[in-house]
């Protein structure tokens, strides 16, 4: 009997360099504009093929089960879309904070789709995988798209953008923010003007969700204050709760991390990346 194939693959996090809410549709969904960039902070997804069609989550991280984990849902969705009879054991090593606005679960799902496309020899094109990913979560298509992107609509329309690679400090306040709660707030700004050009300076825009998230979870505001006292310009990613700031170089980043950790915050030095490490796992 042939030994099962096992691949160990990265699932990088993302930052929203800005996030504008430009309107609300009749169906209740919000129109957004944002620039997504993948970063070096990453989970690890190990995929081991199975011949019996089962999809199992091995040693699941706290709070995750085979029913609610996005990677497992992605594998099942790909089975349905392609009719394959193969299965997979999924083992996740979580580094990206859950509920932190960095897209960890969505990235795990995208890496699973890309990895299984090769592991199961499916030959799916990128657009086919994105179509599967869209049904799993708004951020999944970005990770399959695989490069810095301007997102619009409800996040499903992606346009590649060219950005200089940068270094950031990312910090997690230790709490999570429910995205639905943020969007349900009556005080949320929903009429930010649309970007007229798709060329963005590093400090372009803002995050419309941040004031609401700070009201719901004051620890985010406290974390932002720690950044400011250290001389940095913080911004929240996604709907929170992680906060990030660009740095001018390694020495500045290390100094900022030292101050934040000294104040008790969990943080990392990360870099933006030009392409998802698995971008070659799908064609087109």
pLDDT in tens, 199-251: 788 789 999 999 999 999 999 999 999 999 999 999 999 999 999 999 999 99
pLDDT in tens, 40-52: 999 999 999 999 9
Question: Closest Cα to residue 150, out of 32, 275, 36, 12?
Answer: 36
Active site residue 198: no
- Secondary structure (3-state) at 220: helix
Tell me how many degrees the CA angle 273-276-282 measures, rounded to the nearest 5. Answer: 160
The Cα–Cα gap between 234 and 53 comes to 46
* DSSP state letter for 249: S
HSE-up of residue 246 (Cα within 13 Å, Cβ side): 13
Low-confidence ranges of the chain (pLDDT < 70): 1-4
Question: Closest Cα to residue 74, out of 8, 28, 143?
Answer: 143
User: Residue 2 has what pLDDT?
Assistant: 58
Which helix (H) or strand (E) is 56 found in, with range?
strand 55-58
Residue of 43, 69, 108, 139 with catalytic role: 139
Active site residue 5: no
The Cα–Cα gap between 220 and 210 comes to 9
User: Residue 3 has what pLDDT?
Assistant: 61
Backbone φ and ψ for 271, nearest 5 degrees, come out as -125, 150
Residue of 14, 43, 69, 208 with catalytic role: 14
User: Residue 1 has what pLDDT?
Assistant: 44
User: Residue 29 has what pLDDT?
Assistant: 86
3-state helix, strand and coil shares in percent for the chain, rounded to the nearest 5? 30, 30, 40
């Amino acid at each position: 009997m042939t030994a099962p194939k096992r691949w160990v693959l990265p699932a990088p996090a993302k930052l929203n360099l800005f996030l504008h809410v430009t309107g609300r549709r009749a169906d209740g969904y919000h129109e957004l504009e944002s620039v997504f960039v993948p970063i070096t902070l990453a989970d690890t997804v190990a995929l081991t093929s199975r011949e019996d069609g089962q999809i199992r989550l091995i040693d699941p991280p706290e709070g995750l089960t085979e029913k609610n984990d996005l990677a497992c849902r992605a594998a099942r969705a790909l089975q349905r879309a392609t009719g394959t009879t193969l299965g997979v054991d999924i083992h996740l090593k979580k580094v990206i904070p859950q509920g932190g606005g960095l897209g960890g679960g969505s990235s795990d799902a995208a890496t699973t789709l890309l990895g299984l496309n090769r592991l199961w020899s499916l030959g799916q094109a990128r657009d086919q995988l994105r179509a599967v990913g869209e049904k799993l979560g708004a951020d999944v298509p970005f990770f399959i798209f695989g490069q810095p992107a301007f997102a619009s609509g409800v996040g499903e329309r992606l346009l590649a953008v060219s950005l200089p690679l940068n270094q950031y400090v990312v910090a997690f306040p230790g709490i999570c923010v429910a995205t639905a709660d943020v969007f349900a707030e009556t005080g949320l700004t929903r009429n930010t003007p649309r970007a007229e050009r798709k060329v963005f300076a590093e400090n372009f825009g803002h995050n419309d969700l941040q004031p609401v998230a700070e009201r719901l979870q004051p620890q985010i505001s406290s974390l932002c204050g720690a950044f400011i006292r250290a001389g940095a310009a913080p911004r929240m990613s996604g709907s929170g709760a992680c906060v990030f700031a660009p740095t001018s170089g390694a020495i500045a980043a290390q100094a900022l991390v030292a101050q934040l950790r000294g104040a008790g915050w969990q943080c990392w030095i990360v870099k933006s990346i030009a392409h998802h490490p698995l971008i070659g796992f799908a064609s087109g």
